[in-house]
Amino acid sequence: MYRAILLPIAAVLFISSSVAQSENRHILTGQQAFTSYQGEHPGVVRKLTAADLPRPYATPSAGNGPDIVARPAGAELHTLPGFKVELYAGGLKNPRRLTTAPNGDIFLAESSAGEIKVLRGIDAKGKAQQVEVFAGGLHQPFGIAFYPPGPKPQWVYIGDTDAVVRFPYQNGDLKARASFQHIADLPGGGHLRGGGHWTRDIAFSLDGKKMFVSVGSHSNADDTDNNPIEKDRADVLVFNPDGSGKRIYASGIRNAVGLAVNPRTGELWGSVNERDELGDNLVPDYITHFEEGGFYGWPWYYIGKNQDPRLKDKHPDLRARMITPDVLLQPHFASLEMTFYEGSQFPAEYKGDAFAAEHGSWNRSPRAGYEVIRVPLHQTGHASGEYEDFLTGFVTPDDKVWGRPVGVAVGNDGSLYVADDGSNSIWRVSYVGGK
């Protein structure tokens, strides 16, 4: 285990791209849209399509996981002109998902520690004024959602790796007022490599009648037919809020780490990790809305009805109806939590857009990810396929990885909060003007 050392960060503006921010900005397409971290710069916009994908094994499968280092002296984060990046909290324990409570408190899942923390307020130095452990003794908690939706929740739901649980909650609670209630069992456990996916995210429909839960696959690309270990995995499940009525909402989704309901359209969206070991530029991770009953390809097929060569073409009926995702990202990006921006601090063109944390690649020889991206939704709630680099700098020019974005949340002040489990920190991105 490394021990992250947090160094001071100046509250300055980082101007890093001359790409225009208007709807008419230049978009990199085709082979130019593929990149490594060295080509990631705030304001650069890319659009990948199924037609851009190489054949399987066009390059060897890479094992290029990062060795996390303490943040080097002078390492800075970069964002767009007019924005400011500050360290909001440090010295955390494996910070993962972030969720903003209706009263503005930031709830944080510290998954390895089995804890949920609450961070409140901003002091004169831009740091959290108060940090408290809301609850402990959990089993790899990740998802956090308040219920019922609206300004006065009565519960906070937590996605443990093997169950959904909930604590009674009232606005302003810094400590759980009672033990948790068990709501539903989930397929449990898993590790990044060699043992499946463990994160379980939760989101409620706008009317509060449906509880969506994401469960990633146990394998990279195993045939799931007659494979009991994959039961109710690689899916988004839907329940009643009391845990009853479980069914599959959407399937063929290798690992939807982040779930979010679009507040404008009511559609369920997800940030998805696709499969590995087919080469550097296969298979793209993606961000998309999920259609009820929709099939997204895993394990037999991938983007654009392509067949995975490791498996037989045995489900032509599923292949015929599989859905191509809305926004294709870099392959092996490890796209994690996503959120919709409904704050009023950022410029008007950001309203309704999505932000997502890209944890960073391991199965790619040119390292990619380690950034936060923006997905323009054009104030309509619908994507047109492109994404924009928004917050970069977690990898130094000489390939030293010191930070890995995991969670994103919009504070009640309109700032964007970013959890980073490389430096065990939370960063706050605010808009101060002066484009």
Q: Does residue 183 register a pLDDT over 90?
A: yes
Rg (CA), the chain: 20
Q: What is the pLDDT of residues 232-255, one digit of tens each?
A: 999 999 999 999 999 999 999 999
Q: Does residue 9 register a pLDDT over 90?
A: no
Kindly tell me the burial class for residue 54, based on how many C-beta atoms sit within 10 Å of its own C-beta (0-12, 13-18, 19 or more): middle
Average confidence (pLDDT) over 195-218: 95
Q: Does residue 15 register a pLDDT over 90?
A: no
Average confidence (pLDDT) over 313-341: 98
Average confidence (pLDDT) over 78-102: 98
Distance from chain centroid for Cα 166:
22
Q: Does residue 14 register a pLDDT over 80?
A: no
Q: Does residue 349 register a pLDDT over 60?
A: yes
For residue 2, the model assigns a pLDDT of: 30
Q: What is the pLDDT of residues 119-157, one digit of tens each?
A: 999 999 999 999 999 999 999 999 999 999 999 999 999
Quick one: which of 148, 141, 79, 139 has its CA closest to 107?
141
27-431 adopts what CATH topology? Neuraminidase (2.120.10)
Confidence of residue 195 (pLDDT cuts 50, 70, 90): low
Model confidence pTM above 0.85:
yes
Q: What is the pLDDT of residues 359-377, one digit of tens each?
A: 999 999 999 999 999 999 9
Across all residues in the chain, what is the average pLDDT? 93
What percent of the chain is predicted at pLDDT more than 70? Answer: 93
Which residue carries 């944080």 as its tokens? 108
**Taking a C-beta distance cutoff of 8 angstroms, is the pair 142, 111 a contact?**
yes
Confidence of residue 434 (pLDDT cuts 50, 70, 90): low
CA dist 330 and 87 (Å) reads: 27
Q: Does residue 190 register a pLDDT over 90?
A: no
Confidence of residue 12 (pLDDT cuts 50, 70, 90): very low
For residue 298, the model assigns a pLDDT of: 98
The residues spanned by each domain of the chain are 27-431
Residues pairing with 389 in the sheet: 373
Confidence of residue 25 (pLDDT cuts 50, 70, 90): confident
Q: What is the pLDDT of residues 407-416, one digit of tens each?
A: 999 999 999 9
Q: Does residue 24 register a pLDDT over 80?
A: no
**Taking a C-beta distance cutoff of 8 angstroms, is the pair 83, 430 a contact?**
yes
For residue 193, the model assigns a pLDDT of: 55
Q: How far is CA 186 from CA 81, 82, 226, 255, 334, in A?
A: 44, 44, 19, 14, 22
DSSP codes of every residue in 296-337: --TTTEETTTEEPTTS----HHHHHHPPPPSEEEEET--EEE
